[in-house]
Amino acid sequence: MQNKINQLRSKKEEALLGGGQKRIDSQHSKGKLTARERIELLLDEGSMEEFGMLVTHRTYDFGMEEQIFYGDGVITAFGTIYNRLVYVYAQDFTVFGGSLSETHAEKICKLMDLAMRNGAPVIGLNDSGGARIQEGVRSLAGYADIFYRNVRASGVIPQISAIMGPCAGGAVYSPAITDFIIMVEHSSYMFVTGPNVVKTVTNEEISSESLGGAHTHASKSGVTQLTAANDYECIQSVKKLLTYLPQNCEVTPEAIHYELADETLLGIESIIPESAMQPYDIKHIIEKIIDVDSFFEIHEEYAENIVVGFARLAGKSIGIVANQPMVLAGCLDVNASKKAARFVRTCDCFNIPLLVLEDVPGFLPGSDQEWNGIISNGAKLLYAFSEATVPRITLITRKAYGGAYDVMNSKHIGSDFNYAWPSAEIAVMGAKGATEIIFKKEIDSANDPAQALLDKEKEYAEKFANPYHAAARGFIDEVIEPSQTRIKLIKAFSSLQNKVDNLPRKKHGNIPL
Ligand code: HXC
C-alpha cells in the first residue's frame, strides 16, 4: 500500500508543477502569479479543495502524446472566501499556454454544474492562448459547452471573470456572458481579432494594449466593469465584490451587523450649489449617505455621467444608480443608459435593493445620440427599472426633467418610495427653455423682451421648479430635509425587506437589446 500511496504523492507533486519550473519562472518574470498562486490568494487559507488534478488530454496528433501535463492547463477547485462556498477555476498558462482542450473544457463544465447544483458563485481566472490548436473542433465544442452553461447559470449564481493574461478570439464570450469582468492592467488583453488580423484586414496598426487592454475596455468599450493594477489587486477586488453579492438568486446578500445611532447628516445640503446651472460631485453625496467607506464603484471609467456601484446602508448591501452632474451635466446618453440598465438588472437578479439619486436635465440631444440609438438604449434603462422587483427608492436631489424623470425609477414605473430634497425641480424642462417656448409671443411683443423673459422664467420657476407640485399629486412620497436622508432611507429600506412583487406570467420579456 505504501508504494501506491507514494505513487499518488508523486503524481500530485508533478501536478503541482504544472508545465514545469522553467515556465513558472517565465510567468513570474512577466509580473504574473501562477494559476495555483492565484487560487491560494483568492480562497480562505487551507480551504482549497482541488478536483480533476490528474486529468490529462486525449490528443495523439502533432506529438502531443509526448507532452502530458496533469490538470491539462486548468485548475478546478472549491473552497471558501470569507467562509462562503465558491467554485473557482484558474487557467494555467504554463501548460500549453493555458489553451483550452476538450478535457480542459470538461473540467470547467463539471465545476459549473456543481456550482449550479449547490447554489454557489463561480469565479474564473482567465489566462489562456485560446483554443488548443492541436485539437481543432473539439476545442471549439468545449468553448460552446462553457458558453451554454454561462447562459444557463446567468441570474442563478453570480459569475465573475478575472482576465489575468491573454483572452482572445471566441474565448472572450464566456467572460462576456458573466456578471462581472475585471482586467489586470498591462498583463491582460481581450479581443475577438488581434492586432495582426486587424492589420491584414483593415491596414490599421494598433498594439494589443490599445486594442484590448484593461483601460480600453474599462473606458471605451465598456466590456469590463473593473480594472486592477496587478494580480494581487485583482484578487482582492474579486473578494470584495463578492461581499456585496448573495450566494444565488434565492437568497439575499449577507448583512453586516449595524446598530442605529444618530444618523443626522450635518452639512450635506451645502454640496448642492445655489445655482441650478452649477455642477457638483454626486459621489460626495453618496459617500455621506452610505456606511463609511462602503462604496464599491462599478464601471467607473465608462459613461461617467452616471455613477453605479454597490454600497452598504446600515450594514445591508444596496446598489446605487446616480446621475453625475459633473459630467455632461448628468444627462442620460446611450452609454449611460446601457451602463445603468445592466447594473439595475444585475442588482435585480441578485436581490440587491436599488437606491437612485437623481439629478438629470434630460436625454443628451444630437444626431450622434439619435443615430446610435438613444431611443432603444434609453428604453433599456426604462425597461430594466420597470421590470425590477427588488425594493426601489429614488431621491431627487435637484433636477428631474422630462422623459428622464420617468426613466430614473419614478413612482410611475414601480418605485416603492420617492423622496425629494427641497432643492428638487421636477418639470418637463428647465425654466428658461420652457419660458422661451410657451411665452414666445408675449416675450417677442413686450416692450422689453429681455425683462419679459426674466419675469416669465421666474413665474414658471415658482410654479414648477420645485418638488411640491409632484408631492401634491403623490408622485413624491415625502419632501425631506437633506440632513434626514440617511435615517429616512434606512427606515424605508427596512420596511421593504419582505417585499413581494411578481412579474406577470411569461416566457421572458423582450428587452430592446
Ligand atoms: C496550443 C498554445 C496555444 C494554443 C499558446 N500555446 N497558445 N498551445 N494552443 N492556442 C503554447 C505555445 O506553443 C507555448 O508552448 C506556450 O503555450 C506559451 O506560448 P508562447 O507563445 O511562448 O507565449 P507568449 O509569447 O506569451 O504568447 C502568448 C500568446 C501566443 C499571445 C497567447 O502563444 C499566441 O498567439 N498563441 C496562439 C493564440 C491563438 O491564435 N489561439 C487561437 C485563437 S482562436 P511551449 O511548449 O513553448 O511552452 C480561438 C477560438 C476560440 O481561441 C473559439 C471559441 C468559440
The residues spanned by each domain of the chain are 2-242, 268-428+466-495, 431-464
Largest CA distance in the chain: 108
Q: Using CA atoms, how far apart are residues 72 and 61, in angstroms rounded to an integer?
A: 16
331 C-alpha to ligand 1 centroid (Å): 44
Secondary structure element (H or E) that encloses residue 138, with its range: helix 137-153
* Site to substitute for ligand 1 among 21, 32, 99, most atoms within 8 A of C-beta: 99
- How is domain 268-428+466-495 classified at the CATH fold level? 2-enoyl-CoA Hydratase; Chain A, domain 1 (3.90.226)
Structure confidence at residue 224 (pLDDT): 97
Q: Are 190 and 163 in contact (CB under 8 A)?
A: yes
Cα–Cα distances (Å) from 37 to 48, 90, 138, 306, in that order, read: 11, 10, 29, 36
Instruction: Examine domains 2-242 and 268-428+466-495 and report if their fold is the same.
Output: yes
Cα–Cα distances (Å) from 217 to 167, 191, 465, in that order, read: 13, 10, 39
174 C-alpha to ligand 1 centroid (Å): 18
Counting Cα atoms < 13 Å in the Cβ hemisphere of 286 gives: 28
For ligand 1, atom 32, the nearest C-alpha belongs to 129
For ligand 1, atom 48, the nearest C-alpha belongs to 96
Phi, psi of 124 (to 5 degrees): -110, 125
Q: Look up residue 4 and give its three cell numbers.
A: 501506491
The pTM is what? 0.95
160 C-alpha to ligand 1 centroid (Å): 23
Mean pLDDT by 10 residues, the chain (513 residues): 95 95 96 97 98 93 87 97 98 96 97 98 96 92 97 98 93 96 96 90 93 96 97 98 98 95 93 91 98 97 98 98 97 98 98 98 95 97 98 97 96 98 91 85 87 87 89 97 97 97 95 95
What is the C-alpha end-to-end distance of the chain, expressed in Å? 61
For ligand 1, atom 3, the nearest C-alpha belongs to 129
Q: Under CATH, which architecture does the 2-242 domain have?
A: Alpha-Beta Complex (3.90)
Categorise residue 77: left if φ over 0, alpha if ψ from -120 to 50, beta otherwise: beta
So which residues are the catalytic ones?
A: 169-170, 403-404
Structure confidence at residue 166 (pLDDT): 94
* Site to substitute for ligand 1 among 133, 139, 143, most atoms within 8 A of C-beta: 133
**Which residues lie below 8 Å from residue 442, measured CB to CB, with a gap of 6+?**
452, 456
For ligand 1, atom 35, the nearest C-alpha belongs to 129
